[in-house]
Structure 1
Amino acid sequence: MNHRPHRTRTLLGGLAVVALTATACGGDDGGTSGGSEAGGTGGETAELTTVRIGTLPIANAAAMYLGMEQGFFEEEGLTLEPTVQAGGSQIITGLVADEFDFGFVGWISAGVPIARGLPVCVVTANDATGTTPEDDWQLILTGANSPMDGPEDLAGKRIGVNALGGVAELQTRVVAEKAGIDPASLQMVEMPFPDMPAAIASGTIDAAYASEPFVTTILDQGGKIVVAPGAYIAPEYPLGNYMTSQQTFEGEPELVEAFTTAMNRSTDYARDNPDAVREIIPTYTQIPAELAQRIRLPIFTSEIDEDAVDEQMGFLEQYGVVDAAPSADDLLCG
């Protein structure tokens, strides 16, 4: 299941067109909500626009926090206000309810609401999986004494996932089918990522689809890898992205462009500075610095692999999450 050569793109060109159109059609004030300015430094006296972000307590959120630390958002006239949520569905609900301006979710989590007609869209990518079980940072793991050794052992097991119908559940079912077992036999148990190590240790679940830093926590408990779902499907498989509401995208294009510019800079910085990623993780999670130095890091990327996203959208329809799957183009703003 090889996606090379990829169709990849970023969205800043389209955002610029939207911003120019809005400027041509609008009045003279041109500001974002609250009357503050977004986009560029705006001079020494320019106010910063507060941007509300729904995010997750996992390692791949590091790029955003690094961007805040490095001043990339401030240079675009923004100050971020992150709120940690348990999963992508809560974040998307917050976008629709205007509780968040942007949200960090997975591609599967993005596809479900768009297939159901909710007014949200993706502004940029954030991360992808690794290439092997040795370097991947989202894994299905089990306890030290479990007889499970590989994906063929998933049949009939209770699998912890952070959100039903999301990235973890769909990728786990894809892996099961590729391994020749009935994906309907899997019992999905919804729980937050931080609860997974204890749930495996207690036997509440047989295995968990965990993300870093909880992968390393489970391995430290003596746990073992069953399979790396992303790498098992295809190397460097798209995972994380940032979304906004259609209302924000159409009504505040300068804000969207400023956020996307700063977020892409943050993602590039995270990719090029793994030591900085490890240093920032303890500042926004409960993860000790020593553990942050040992975890597997995501592959940070702002490029959108449209072929792989299209394939993931097909999983939504294949496993009955939605009646008709959207395409990658349907997901992207603009």
Structure 2
Amino acid sequence: MRRLLAALAAGTALLVTAACGSSGSSSSTSSPSGGTTTVKVGIIPIVDVAPLYLGQKEGFYGKRGLKLSMTLAQGGAAIVPGVTSGQFQFGFSNMTSLMIARSNNVPVRAIANGVASTGVAGKDFGGLVVRKGSDITSAKQLEGRKVAVNTLKNINETAVRESVRRAGGDPDRVSFVELAFDQMPAALDRGQIDAAMAVEPALAAMKLQGAAEIASPLVDVAKNLTVAMYFTSTSYARQNPGVVKRFQEATAESLAYADAHPDEVRQIVTTYTKTPADVLAAVTLPKWPADPDRASIDTLEKLSEQDGLFTTAPDLDELLP
């Protein structure tokens, strides 16, 4: 367990290093021969982004003249400014961060599907868990309790709020705290938090500690919820349509490959998270469909607006591909 936490923490530290760099040196670059374009991609050290690593390994990007240079971050909210500033050419972000950005006129556009819920309660790649021996058995009982999410005022908080509502509770009475996924297992085990909303591999790590899952918040939002997508800035898309198209094509091939090769997904995860074998075996994989589910995004938008994440709803036609 310590190896998992240390490895993921190291990944988060990479963001700090990257954030200190000059944005002037972050544009996509070509090899001396002009045959390969290197693009920087901001991602999160979670199972969701395994298709990118697989795609790079299998040559799906290379055969289209692309090389991915990936930097790890804590959440999509941190990646959005990295993309708009030019630090990254592409990024991976949950849909709520992207919708918040568009509602504030931040020039971002989703260009490729990212990851989706399995749609099966109790068997999703994201779950709400409490520590072993906790007296909490329902999301309703989180009123007055401390719940960890990786980023405040974002998709995981909205999803937990929906689980609390569905259980008959008042989400406004829940105390949300921001905590990186890799820090959640230890914090839950020590009793520093009462519950945690985590995705894999942190979710599996906590379950192996004896944590009990009391809800599947992503499933509670929508059965086939599109959780995240890959995106770029509108200016980069306008200036580099060929690179964007090649990234879209390679990512689509990578998503399909990941969906069809779960064993390879589990193996590639060890290359960027150093997940212990026992945790890896317990990980529940998400779905990687070719296209986003618009109906689920509409539902998430309504819940986000209800929770006060934006006063003016974003134009989804401008955001989505």
What is the TM-score normalised by the length of structure 1?
A: 0.85
Structure 1 residue 293: Cα displacement: 2.5
Shift in CA distance, 69/145, structure 1 to aligned 2, threshold 3 Å: same
Structure 1 residue 151: Cα displacement: 1.8
The structure 2 residue matched to 1:244, chosen from 232, 235, 238, is 232
Asked whether the 8 Å contact 1:133–1:225 carries over to 2, the reply is: no
Asked whether the 8 Å contact 1:279–1:289 carries over to 2, the reply is: no
Identify the residue that residue 320 of structure 1 maps to in structure 2.
308
Paired with 1:325 and 1:176, the residues of 2 have a C-alpha distance of 23
Asked whether the 8 Å contact 2:28–2:39 carries over to 1, the reply is: no
Moved more, 224-233 or 94-103: 224-233
Whether 1:129 and 2:99 are equivalent positions in the alignment is: no
The structure 2 residue matched to 1:52, chosen from 20, 30, 40, is 40
Asked whether the 8 Å contact 1:310–1:327 carries over to 2, the reply is: no
Shift in CA distance, 35/171, structure 1 to aligned 2, threshold 3 Å: same
Runs ≥4 residues deviating over 4 A: 32-37
Asked whether the 8 Å contact 2:28–2:89 carries over to 1, the reply is: no
Paired with 2:141 and 2:43, the residues of 1 have a C-alpha distance of 33
Identify the residue that residue 319 of structure 2 maps to in structure 1.
331
Identify the residue that residue 118 of structure 1 maps to in structure 2.
106
Asked whether the 8 Å contact 2:44–2:74 carries over to 1, the reply is: yes
Paired with 1:165 and 1:125, the residues of 2 have a C-alpha distance of 22
Paired with 2:199 and 2:108, the residues of 1 have a C-alpha distance of 25
Whether 1:92 and 2:80 are equivalent positions in the alignment is: yes
Identify the residue that residue 234 of structure 1 maps to in structure 2.
222
Asked whether the 8 Å contact 2:30–2:36 carries over to 1, the reply is: no
Paired with 1:318 and 1:306, the residues of 2 have a C-alpha distance of 18
Report the RMSD for the aligned CA atoms in angstroms: 1.6
Whether 1:298 and 2:286 are equivalent positions in the alignment is: yes
Shift in CA distance, 213/95, structure 1 to aligned 2, threshold 3 Å: same
Query: What amino acid is aligned across from residue 183 of structure 1 in structure 2?
Result: P
Identify the residue that residue 287 of structure 1 maps to in structure 2.
275
Identify the residue that residue 62 of structure 2 maps to in structure 1.
74
- Map 1:1-334 to 2 at 5 A: 34=29, 46-333=34-321
Deviations 1:16-68 (A, max 9, x none): xxxxxxxxxxxxxxxx954669xxxxxxx652101100000101111111001
Paired with 1:236 and 1:315, the residues of 2 have a C-alpha distance of 15
Paired with 1:167 and 1:72, the residues of 2 have a C-alpha distance of 30
Paired with 1:255 and 1:231, the residues of 2 have a C-alpha distance of 34
Structure 1 residue 240: Cα displacement: 1.6
Structure 1 residue 140: Cα displacement: 0.5
Query: What amino acid is aligned across from residue 296 of structure 1 in structure 2?
Result: T
Paired with 2:211 and 2:315, the residues of 1 have a C-alpha distance of 37
Moved more, 179-188 or 137-146: 179-188
Structure 1 residue 289: Cα displacement: 3.4
SS of the residue corresponding to residue 310 of structure 1 reads helix
Query: What amino acid is aligned across from residue 147 of structure 2 in structure 1?
Result: I
Structure 1 residue 317: Cα displacement: 1.3
Paired with 1:34 and 1:46, the residues of 2 have a C-alpha distance of 9
Structure 1 residue 257: Cα displacement: 0.4
SS of the residue corresponding to residue 282 of structure 2 reads coil
Identity, % of aligned pairs?
Answer: 32
Paired with 1:146 and 1:132, the residues of 2 have a C-alpha distance of 24
What is the TM-score normalised by the length of structure 2?
A: 0.88
Paired with 1:314 and 1:232, the residues of 2 have a C-alpha distance of 14
Paired with 1:233 and 1:34, the residues of 2 have a C-alpha distance of 40
Query: What amino acid is aligned across from residue 196 of structure 1 in structure 2?
Result: M
Which stretches in structure 2 are left out of the alignment for 5+ residues?
1-26
Structure 1 residue 233: Cα displacement: 3.0
Q: How many residues get paired? A: 295
Identify the residue that residue 26 of structure 1 maps to in structure 2.
none
Shift in CA distance, 233/35, structure 1 to aligned 2, threshold 3 Å: closer
SS of the residue corresponding to residue 297 of structure 2 reads helix
Paired with 2:50 and 2:247, the residues of 1 have a C-alpha distance of 16
Moved more, 80-89 or 174-183: 174-183
Paired with 1:63 and 1:35, the residues of 2 have a C-alpha distance of 23
Query: What amino acid is aligned across from residue 72 of structure 1 in structure 2?
Result: F
